[in-house]
Structure 1
C-alpha cells in the first residue's frame, strides 16, 4: 500500500497562510520534514508562495547593527523544478530584496536546491557543512557567504 503522507502534507501546506506563520513555526515545520518531503512540497504555486514569503520577510529579519557599513549584493539561485533567482542588496544598514536577476555584479552567489534553501533560511542547516557536502555552491566572496547568517535573525526550531 502506498504511503500517502506526502500528499496529505502537501495539501496541508497548500492551505497554510504563510503570512500568519511565525519564523519559529516555519523553522519547526521545516525541521520536521525530510529532504524528500521538502522537495515534494516545493512545486508549482506552493513553491512560489513559500519563496515569496521567505524573501519577503528577509528585510524584517535583517539586523542593520550587525551589517554596519557593509555593501554587498547577494544573488540566490534556487534550483528545483526550475531555477528561481532572488537578490538581497545590503547597503550600509539597509536591506532590499527583489525577485529576478539584475544587471549588477553580485559579491557572492549562493546556489542550492529547494530543500537546502529551506533548511538554510529556517536555521535547520549549517551553511559551512552544506558547502563542504556540496549541497550549497558559493560563487564569489566565500567569507561573506559564510557570515551571512549574522546579518539576519534566523529562527530556531
Structure 2
C-alpha cells in the first residue's frame, strides 16, 4: 500500500478517494495510523483559512476513534489571532469536541465526506459550541481532487 505520510493534501485526497473502505480501515487499524494522523494534523495549519476565521478564538478537541484497542487518538487545535496550531493530546478546556472514526476522519479532511452529513448519520459527534461546530468546516480548504 502507498504510504500516506509522504503525500501532500491533494495526493492524500486522491488516495482516499480511490481506496476502498476496507483498505482504509486496515490502514487506520495498522501500525501506520499514528504517523498518518500526525501528518494530517501537522498539515492542518497549511490549509487553514485565516480570512474566514475573523476574530475567532477557540480550542477544538479532536477524538479520532476506531483504534483496535478501543481508545482514541487525541489532538488539540487552537484558533487564535487568525492562526491555527495543533498539538497531540488535550491540554486546554475545549470550546468544541469532535469525535469521529478513523476512516470517516480521512474522508472528512480530504473532502470526500461533508461534516453535516456525518453529523446527521451519527458518525461525527459534536459537543460544545454548536455555532463553532457549524462554522468549523468552512475554516479549512480540503484538497480538490
Give the TM-score, by structure 1 length.
Answer: 0.84
Deviation at residue 36 of structure 1 after TM alignment: 2.5
Q: How many Å apart are 1:116 and its aligned residue?
A: 0.6
> What are the superposed Cα offsets for residues 49-72 of structure 1, whole Å, 9 maximum, x if unpaired?
110100000111111111111000
Shift in Å at residue 18 of structure 1? 2.3
**RMSD between superposed Cα atoms in Å:** 1.4
Give the CA deviation at 1:108. 0.6
Distance 2:23 2:43 in 1: 23
Pick one of 6, 13, 19 that aligns with 1:27.
Answer: 13
CA distance in 1, matches of 2:134, 2:37: 21
2:104 is the counterpart of 1:116: yes
Preserved contact between residue 4 and residue 12 of structure 2 (Cα < 8 Å) = no
Matches of 1:143 and 1:126, distance apart in 2: 17
**Residue in 2 that maps onto 1:142:** 130
- Aligned partner of residue 55 in structure 2, secondary structure: coil
Query: Offset at 1:17?
Result: 6.3
- Separation in structure 2 between the aligned mates of residue 24 and residue 94 of structure 1, nearest angstrom: 21
Alignment equivalent of 1:91, drawn from 76, 80, 93: 80
Q: Deviations over 1:124-146 (max 9, x none)?
A: 01100100000110011122122
* Deviation, structure 1 residue 99: 0.2
In 1, the alpha carbon distance for the partners of 2:12 and 2:94 equals 28
Q: Which runs of 5+ in 1 are unaligned?
A: 1-11
Q: CA deviation at 1:110?
A: 0.5
> Larger Rg: 1 or 2?
1
Moved beyond 3 Å, runs of 4+: none
The alignment's TM-score, normalised by the length of structure 2, stands at 0.91
